[in-house]
Amino acid sequence: MKKKVLSVFIDESGDFGNFNASSPYYYVAMVLHDQSIDISDNIKNLEEHLERVGYPQHAIHTGPIIRKELFYKNDLMETRKALFNSLFHFMRKIDLHYICPKINKAECKNDRIDYIAKLSKAISDELKKHFDYFDLIINYYDNGQNELTKILTSVFTTLFSNVEMRKVRPVDYKLFQVADLICTMELTNDKAERNAFSKSELEFFHSPHDFKKNLYKQLAKKKL
């Protein structure tokens, strides 16, 4: 039987700095895609849409879209929502799954060693739940945080015998941008649970209830 070649696109939200009550979690989103499933038409449609809204060959960054930062600081809400919706519906329409291990930094000792230990365990535990899902694995990460790069290399090569690690540029892979989207959505959902939306999130999503009903409910269907 032919083994499945699984692409795993990885992004993170959080850092290894001191605990901050307004952002207590560290997330690692992993988008899982069977390479035998062709998504080239979906990618083409997304790229054409981005060009129509004035962002050709662009890597969508979900958090800055919501907060009106970086490339999007001068964009109207209409444009920002068009960008967000284009990536969200791209994710929704294609055959993929995701997992998103996280740690609560409040439970750590505010040092990197404890963060690394707890995050390594969280990732390992989540992967072990779905061990049979993985055959040959190709991991894609932009090496944005050196500590996470080391953790991913260690955990994956310990658990699995067929693993490749590849460094990526976000603009080159739409599924890496989906991993960024998932990190932001999981973070936003945790804030919705605590009724702790920022002004930007209220403007963009209207309310925690609307976010959970209209968006997160659809995202959660993709969770492995």
Q: How many domains does the chain have?
A: 1
Q: Does the residue 212 lie in any domain? A: no
Residue 208 lies in a domain: no
In a domain, 221, yes or no: no
Q: Please list, in sequence order, all residues whose beta carbon lies within 8 angstroms of the beta carbon of residue 210, skipping any fewer than 6 positions away.
A: none
Q: Summarize pLDDT for 15-31 with one digit per residue, the tens.
A: 877 777 777 889 999 99
Domain that holds residue 120: 5-183
Q: Range with the lowest mean pLDDT among 7-21, 93-107, 205-219?
A: 7-21
Residue 102 lies in a domain: yes
In a domain, 14, yes or no: yes
Question: Given pLDDT bands bounded at 50, 70 and 90, which one contains residue 2?
Answer: low
Angle between helices 112-129 and 146-159 (to 10 degrees): 40
Query: What are the φ/ψ torsions at residue 78 (nearest 5 degrees)?
Result: -60, -45
Q: What is the CATH number of the domain that holds 156?
A: 3.30.420
- Establish if 197 belongs to a structural domain: no
Closest CA to 179 of 14, 68, 27: 27
Distance of CA 35 to the CA centre of its chain: 19
Pairing of strands 136-141, 5-13: parallel
In a domain, 165, yes or no: yes
- Per-residue pLDDT tens over the stretch 107-137: 887 677 888 899 999 999 999 998 888 878 9
222 located within any domain: no
d(CA 63, CA 183): 9
Q: State whether the Cα torsion 73-77-79-80 is positive or negative.
A: positive
